[in-house]
């Protein structure tokens, strides 16, 4: 199994109802990120998935632009992120704990 196939499989498990265009973006990010290169496919998929949701589907970046620090901005988008994860059928949620 190639790394791409392993990441695609992990994304499908983590978010079985993710729309196709978002599936492709999450997978491509997981494969193209230097920071995720050495991560297991499962970790790379989760971190890419949550980063995608945070930056593309919430007000996170706007909160940063408005002067909120990253920790506060993450707190304010937590429910929105978990709502997307639920919509996409994910068995996992973001808890707000450091290191996710």
Q: Give the mean model confidence (pLDDT) for residues 4-16.
A: 98
Long-range contacts of 8-11 (CB under 8 A, 24+ apart): 9/41, 10/41, 10/42, 10/44, 10/45, 10/46, 11/45, 11/48, 11/49
Indicate whether 57 belongs to any domain: yes
Domain count, the chain: 1
47 neighbors 39 (Cβ within 8 angstroms): yes
Q: What is the pLDDT of residue 22?
A: 97
Say if 32 falls within a structural domain. Answer: yes
pLDDT given at position 63: 98
Domain of 7, in residue numbers: 3-87
E strand or H helix at 64 = helix 60-65
95 lies in a domain?
no
Residue 77 lies in a domain: yes
φ, ψ at 10 (rounded to 5°): -65, -40
Domain for residue 49, yes or no? Answer: yes
Whether residue 92 lies inside any domain: the answer is no
In a domain, residue 100? The reply is no
pLDDT, position 98: 53
Residue 53 lies in a domain: yes
Q: pLDDT by residue (tens digit) across 11-64?
A: 999 999 999 999 999 999 999 999 999 999 999 999 999 999 999 999 999 999
pLDDT digits (tens, 9 = 90+) for 51-100: 999 999 999 999 999 999 999 999 999 999 999 999 999 999 999 765 55
Burial tier of 64 (Cβ tally within 10 Å: 0-12, 13-18, 19+):
middle
């Amino acid at each position: 199994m190639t790394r791409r196939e392993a990441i695609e499989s992990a994304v499908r498990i983590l978010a079985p109802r993710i729309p196709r265009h978002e599936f492709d973006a999450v997978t491509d990010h997981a494969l193209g990120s230097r920071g995720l290169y050495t991560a297991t496919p499962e970790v790379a998929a989760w971190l890419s998935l949550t980063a995608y949701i945070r930056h593309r589907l919430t007000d996170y970046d706007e909160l940063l632009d408005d002067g909120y620090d990253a920790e506060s901005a993450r707190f304010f988008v937590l429910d929105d992120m978990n709502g997307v994860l639920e919509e996409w059928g994910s068995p996992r949620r973001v808890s707000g704990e450091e290191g996710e």
